């Protein structure tokens, strides 16, 4: 800790502790990349409220800077067996695959590559998990520290195991799974495919929704409990549990909200805290502000493909640059690759942009985005219409939501032409319905009794104070699939009905025969 910088914070934090009478200890099993950017905001707020935050971090990672001495968190570094280079190469390969190779692949080659990529990353996550489990010294130290809660993300294999080892409750921060499989099977969250679209299937197609729910089922084993059994501690925690998915988070902090989601059933231990990282815009750096002001009445367009994609092929970057040069707005483009030859005089390239501050600038007219949840939420927060160029992960789903809400135009990255991008930009900039819809979402987002960040903090603290939130846990976790769908009850009722009908029919037949015989007798007489 750089105590000097944090001293005022600390004072304030202790004041908080005194007033609430509770300072806790939080340990974090983080997911890297954009997930980290999001959860970091929550952790910073927890530090501000007087809690101690310790992050378990792999020595090779993408965005978690554990050497940053000004960080408010304590880090425990796990010396993982894979090198930074291996990780960076895998990431480059992954991005290259999605950005340059996908359009030329046959569907089944594509599936095979997807599976291979997933294995590579899951393997590194497992190695990280193993490194932790085998570090008995660290485990002893952490146990002694008496943590109150663990914060994890189901996509980082092993969080639930770490919590189990440290014997503390855990909270998930989560956004997305294909076919809603993780929330459904690990969290027990109902998601009827008839009206809750299975992610990435688009918004309306019910056949695809049902199909994706079924096909995604086996993926659950990657993320739910069996991720644990793949760790060194084979002697399966799963075996101890009544159902494979009963090692469940106390609270799920879902990184969306009703401005983004469509109404769906949810459980009391699910809290929708989308946009918790968003803040009012701060002033821009001087040079950037001057450039923005030079746009005059036309305003500016902000363009970023996210924290991971910083490099495009020459062909793509020229296609994009040419389209950008055709609009009257000034464009601020976050890009680290080679400067494209067709770059217009209205476009400036930056290594890094203060994205939230730019989106909150009064002159900002549109946002060109890859569709990551963080960026989408910054646009919703500030009411900025979008042009979406989704590539992988939850990005297609995010853009599909925004398009369905009328706040975005979607483009296909692999077939992108200059004309497509130019047209999309002109539509979003000229047709006021996109701006109106974005503003409508923004108003919904801001009109909440408690901010998403405060709600997230409340529930983490709740779990710390009460050592869990078991009273919010649905009994669904203890049911088998046929009990869950009440098939056993239906079978029982069906059997009862069948027996009753059978007896009734038998009686009728018996009576009829008797009557028939009686009548026949009388006739004879």
Ligand X SMILES: *[C@@H]1O[C@H](CO)[C@@H](O)[C@H](O)[C@H]1NC(C)=O
**Could you tell me how many residues of this chain bind ligand X (CB under 6 A)?**
10
List binders of ligand X among 337-376 (CB under 6 A). Answer: 337
Which residues on adjacent β-strands are paired with residue 347? Answer: 331
Is 313 a binding residue for ligand X by CB under 6 A? The answer is: yes
100 contacts 314 by C-beta, under 8 angstroms: no
Please state the closest distance from residue 336 (CB atom) to ligand X, in A: 9
Residue 96 or 204: the one with the smaller Cβ distance to ligand X is 96
CA–CA distance, 160 with 169 (Å, rounded to integer): 9
Least CB distance from residue 395 to ligand X, whole Å? 17
Q: Are strands 270-272 and 330-334 parallel, antiparallel or unpaired?
A: unpaired
Q: Report yes or no: 175 and 255 within 8 Å, Cβ to Cβ.
A: yes
Closest CA to 220 of 257, 251, 188, 259: 188
Q: Is 437 in the site for ligand X (CB under 6 A)?
A: no
Q: Which of 135, 279, 311, 418 binds ligand X (CB under 6 A)?
A: 311
- 294 is an interface residue for ligand X by CB under 6 A: no
Tell me the C-alpha to C-alpha distance, in Å, between residue 248 and each of 44, 102, 160, 164, 227. 25, 36, 8, 11, 13
Tell me whether residue 273 or residue 308 sits nearer to ligand X (CB atom).
Answer: 308
Q: At what angle do helices 395-404 and 373-382 cross, to 10 degrees?
A: 30
Binding to ligand X by residue 418, rule CB under 6 A? no
The yes or no reply on residue 419 touching ligand X (CB under 6 A) is no
Min dist CB 330 to ligand X, Å, is 16
Q: Kindly indicate which of the ranges 188-196, 390-398, 429-437, 499-507 contains the residues binding ligand X, using the contact rule CB under 6 A.
A: 429-437
Per-residue x/- mask for ligand X, residues 225 to 264, rule CB under 6 A?
Answer: ----------------------------------------
Q: Which of the stretches 92-100, 265-273, 357-365, 469-477 binds ligand X when contact is defined by CB under 6 A? A: 92-100
HSE toward the beta carbon, residue 38, CA cutoff 13 A? 30
Is 430 a binding residue for ligand X by CB under 6 A? The answer is yes
**Exposure on the CB side of residue 97, measured as CA atoms within 13 A:** 18
Nearer to ligand X, 313 or 497 (CB): 313
- Pairwise CA distance, residues 64 & 104, whole Å: 34
CB of 333 to ligand X, least distance (A): 16
Site membership for ligand X, residue 104 (CB under 6 A): no
d(CA 8, CA 47): 12
Per-residue burial over 64-101, b = 16 or more CB atoms within 10 Å of its CB, e = otherwise? bebeeeebbbebbbbebebeeeebeebbeebbebbbee
Scan for tokens 């502790």, then name that residue.
Answer: 17
Strand partners for 513: none
Which residue number, 184 or 405, has a Cβ lying nearer to ligand X? 405
Nearest approach in angstroms of CB 478 to ligand X is 48
The two tokens of residue 517 are 């015989």
Binding-site member from 59, 86, 100, 325 for ligand X (CB under 6 A): 100
Residue 432 CB, shortest distance to ligand X, in Å, is: 8
| CB closer to ligand X out of 353 and 409 | 409
Interface residues toward ligand X, by CB under 6 A: 96, 99-100, 311, 313, 337, 426, 430-431, 433
């Amino acid at each position: 800790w750089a105590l000097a910088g944090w001293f005022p914070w600390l004072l304030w934090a202790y004041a908080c502790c005194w007033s609430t009478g509770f300072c806790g200890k939080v340990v974090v099993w983080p997911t890297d990349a954009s997930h980290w950017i999001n959860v970091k905001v929550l952790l910073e707020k927890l530090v501000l409220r007087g809690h101690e935050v310790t992050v378990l971090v792999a020595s090779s990672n993408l965005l978690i800077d554990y050497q940053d001495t000004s960080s408010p968190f304590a880090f425990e570094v796990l010396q993982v067996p894979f090198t930074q280079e291996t990780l960076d190469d895998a990431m480059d390969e992954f991005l290259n695959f999605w950005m340059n190779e996908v359009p030329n692949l046959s569907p089944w080659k594509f599936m095979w590559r997807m599976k291979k990529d997933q294995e590579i990353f899951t393997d590194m996550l497992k190695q990280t998990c193993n490194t932790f489990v085998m570090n008995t010294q660290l485990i002893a130290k952490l146990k002694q520290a008496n943590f109150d809660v663990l914060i994890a993300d189901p996509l980082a294999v092993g969080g639930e195991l770490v919590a189990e080892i440290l014997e503390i409750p855990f909270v998930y921060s989560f956004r997305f799974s294909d076919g809603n499989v993780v929330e459904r099977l690990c969290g027990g969250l109902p998601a009827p495919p008839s009206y809750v679209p299975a992610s990435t299937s688009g918004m309306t197609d019910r056949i695809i929704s049902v199909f994706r729910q079924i096909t995604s089922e086996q993926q659950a084993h990657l993320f739910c409990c069996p991720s644990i059994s793949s760790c060194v501690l084979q002697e399966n925690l799963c075996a101890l549990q009544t159902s494979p998915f009963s090692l469940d988070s106390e609270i799920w902090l879902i990184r969306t909200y009703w401005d983004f989601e469509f109404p769906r059933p949810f459980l009391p231990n699910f809290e929708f805290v989308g946009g918790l990282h968003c803040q009012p815009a701060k002033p821009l750096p001087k040079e950037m502000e001057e450039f923005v002001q030079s746009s005059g009445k036309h305003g500016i367009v902000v363009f970023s493909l996210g924290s991971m994609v910083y490099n495009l092929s020459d062909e793509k970057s020229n296609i994009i640059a040419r389209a950008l040069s055709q609009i009257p707005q000034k464009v601020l483009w976050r890009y680290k690759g080679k400067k494209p030859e067709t770059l217009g005089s209205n476009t400036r390239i930056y290594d890094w942009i203060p994205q939230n501050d730019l989106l909150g600038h009064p002159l900002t007219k549109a946002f060109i985005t890859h569709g990551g949840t963080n960026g989408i939420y910054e646009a919703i927060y500030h009411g900025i219409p979008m042009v979406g160029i989704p590539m992988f992960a939850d990005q297609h789903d995010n853009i599909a939501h925004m398009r369905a809400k009328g706040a975005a135009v979607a483009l296909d990255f692999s077939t992108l032409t200059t004309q497509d991008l130019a047209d999309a930009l002109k539509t979003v900039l000229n047709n006021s319905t996109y701006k109106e819809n974005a503003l409508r979402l923004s108003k919904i987002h801001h009109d909440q009794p408690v901010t998403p960040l405060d709600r997230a903090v409340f529930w983490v603290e709740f779990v710390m104070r009460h050592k869990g939130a078991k009273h919010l846990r649905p009994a669904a976790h203890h049911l088998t699939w046929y009990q869950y769908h009440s098939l056993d009850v239906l079978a029982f009722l069906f059997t009862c009905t069948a027996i009753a009908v059978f007896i009734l029919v038998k009686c009728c037949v018996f009576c009829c025969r008797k009557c028939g015989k009686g009548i026949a007798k009388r006739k004879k007489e």
